[in-house]
Amino acid sequence: MNSIQLDIVIPNFNGKVFLKDCLASLQRQSFQKFRVIVVDNGSTDGSLELLRRDYPEVELIAWNENRGFSVAVHAGIAYGSTPLVFLLNNDTELDTQCLAELVRVAEEKPEYDFFAAKMLNYHDHSRLDGAGEAFLRGGVGYRLGTMEEDADCYSTPRQVFGACAGAALYRRKFFVELGSFDEDFFAYLEDVDLNLRANSRGRKCWYVPEARVYHIGSATTGSKINPFTVRLSTRNNFCILIKNYPLGLLFRFAPAICVYQFFWLCFVIKKRQFGSYCSGIVQFVKIMPLMLEKRKETLGLATVDATRLAGIMRKAEDEVLQSTMRRRDAAKRSNHLFSLYRRLFL
């Protein structure tokens, strides 16, 4: 085990159909000093039998029920011991040089705490799934470049707001110092919460375009918009705001927050998910006292003052708008509302 430098943590829930290709891509990596830890959230599709029969080298943590993404990832991180931890969704395949590039950059840039891979569409490798994570002041994340054609601007290594936990490398000390993903989020926006906490404590993320990951997306839930995702996304969106925003920023960003909430509500109504939205609001009200308790610790540990954090958040949101407007330009769609928003709020 002395040769092992990297723990790879893969949460799984009924992902048997994806695991074979994901694990095969790990076997093809040029960098092989790693251990794979799969945390199974009560799968009933034969995932466990597949892993035990065909992949005895995989370390397996298996539960009888679905405890959520955050709990599963935290268990996998705690099980391991290496200086570097790579979190990976089961519905992915890695380019053969992916791990080698991530580890190389981590060694070359000790001042950075976590690293975002370039995520490409599984079915169309010319189209992006995400090139690092940005942030909207309404309290949600955005994968830069999502649904755009890959371009030169996404082939340049640079500092970004954060990483999508579906394919991200972290230093273990990052979790020791900041804590892991919030287990009360269960799933959705837990990496946004972690990215925001990281920025509030001066931690930095580097985007590594040479590390390519091919991602299906929403494979566990079956679609990007469904009652489960809408309910949890709505609840966790408000959890992020109440848990992480200093009071001054809540007032300062109130217009931007209201604009986002208005358009999110319009979107869920259009998708006929208003009932799920309301369920998310109800669940937030129930969990709000717990988030208020966590707020004290989160804000108490912040090392970046509110003014500087506001600047970081504004920059990240502007990157979101630029990415969105590029995609809409390519589709020959209007950007008048986005241009107006930038003039009014950025």
According to DSSP, the residues that pair with 61 across neighbouring strands are 39
The predicted pLDDT at position 191 comes to 96
pLDDT band of 217, cuts 50, 70, 90:
confident
Mean pLDDT of the chain: 95
Superfamily of domain 6-215: Spore Coat Polysaccharide Biosynthesis Protein SpsA; Chain A (3.90.550.10)
Q: C-alpha distances in angstroms, 59 versus 6, 110, 222, 259, 294? A: 13, 28, 26, 45, 32
Distance CA 283, CA 280 (A): 5
Q: Report the range of poorest mean pLDDT among 90-104, 218-232, 270-284, 312-326.
A: 218-232
- Nearest CA to 126 among 214, 218, 211? 214
Condensed to tens digits (0 to 9), the pLDDT of residues 278-309 reads 999 999 999 999 999 999 999 999 999 999 99
Q: Is the pLDDT of residue 184 over 70?
A: yes
Quote the CA–CA distance of 24 and 20 in Å, as a whole number: 6
Name the CA dihedral angle for 233, 143, 196, 337, rounded to a multiple of 10 degrees: -80
pLDDT tens-digit map of 30-55: 999 999 999 999 999 999 999 999 99
Q: What does the domain layout of the chain look like in residue ranges?
A: 6-215, 227-345
Please check the confidence at residue 319 and state whether its pLDDT lies above 60.
Answer: yes
